[in-house]
C-alpha cells in the first residue's frame, strides 16, 4: 500500500508523529512524509492513502505549517474526487476548540470531494499520554480495518 503522510505543525509534535508513522508503516509499504508547507495539489493522488496529522494552534487555529496548504485548497479548489484520507488531530481538551485545527483541514478536503476513511484519530494533551503512541495505535487500527475491507472485497 502507498501512503502520503501530510502533517501540519506549530511546535513540531505533528512532525514527530509523522516520523513515527513513517517508521511504523514504512517496513511493509511505500510511505512519503510531506510538511503541509511543501504540499501542492499534486501531493494529493488517488494512488496513495493520505494520512493527515494536524495540530491546533491558539484558539482553534491552524498551525503555521498548515496555513499554506489550507490557502492552496481555498484558492485552487482542486477536484479531490477519488482521494482517500484519514485524519489524526492533536489538541488539548481543556480548550473549547480541542482538535479544531485538524477539523478545519478535514472540512476543506471533504468539501473538495475527498473521502475520509477510518476512525477520526485524536490525541488529547490533557490526558498525559504521548501523541506518538496514540497515533501509532490509530494507524495500526486503520491499516487493519483497510486490510480486512480489501480481504472481503476479494
**Which CATH number belongs to the domain containing residue 111 in this structure?**
3.40.50.360
Q: Indicate the range of 35-39, 40-44, 106-110, 135-139 predicted with least confidence.
A: 40-44
- pLDDT score at 10: 94
Nearest alpha carbon to residue 84 among 41, 50, 135, 107:
50
Q: Over 70: is that where the pLDDT of 153 sits? A: no
- pLDDT score at 79: 96
- pLDDT score at 147: 74
Considering the chain, what is the average pLDDT of its residues? Answer: 93
* pTM strictly above 0.75: yes
Over range 38-65, report the average pLDDT. 94
Quick one: angle between helices 131-153 and 13-25, nearest 10? 40
- pLDDT score at 103: 97
Position 126 confidence tier, pLDDT thresholds 50, 70, 90: very high
Quote the percentage of the chain above a pLDDT of 70.
97
What confidence tens digit (pLDDT) does each residue in 67-114 have? 999 999 999 999 999 999 999 999 999 899 999 999 999 999 999 999
- pLDDT score at 148: 75
C-alpha grid cell, residue 136: 501509532
Task: State how many domains the chain has.
Answer: 1
Range of the domain at 128: 2-153
- pLDDT score at 139: 95
Quote the percentage of the chain above a pLDDT of 90.
86
Amino acid at each position: 500500500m502507498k501512503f502520503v503522510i501530510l502533517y501540519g505543525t506549530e511546535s513540531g509534535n505533528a512532525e514527530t508523529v509523522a516520523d513515527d508513522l513513517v517508521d511504523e508503516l514504512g517496513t511493509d509499504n511505500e510511505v512519503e512524509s510531506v510538511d503541509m508547507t511543501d504540499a501542492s495539489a499534486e501531493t494529493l493522488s488517488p494512488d496513495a492513502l493520505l494520512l493527515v496529522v494536524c495540530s491546533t494552534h491558539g484558539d482553534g487555529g491552524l498551525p503555521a505549517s498548515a496555513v499554506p496548504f489550507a490557502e492552496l485548497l481555498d484558492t485552487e479548489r482542486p477536484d479531490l474526487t477519488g482521494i482517500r484520507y484519514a485524519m489524526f488531530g492533536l489538541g488539548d481538551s481543556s480548550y473549547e476548540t480541542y482538535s479544531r485545527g485538524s477539523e478545519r483541514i478535514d472540512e476543506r478536503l471533504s468539501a473538495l470531494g475527498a473521502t475520509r476513511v477510518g476512525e477520526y484519530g485524536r490525541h488529547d494533551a490533557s490526558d498525559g499520554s504521548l501523541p506518538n503512541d496514540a497515533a501509532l495505535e490509530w494507524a495500526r487500527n486503520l491499516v487493519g480495518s483497510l486490510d480486512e475491507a480489501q480481504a472481503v472485497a476479494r
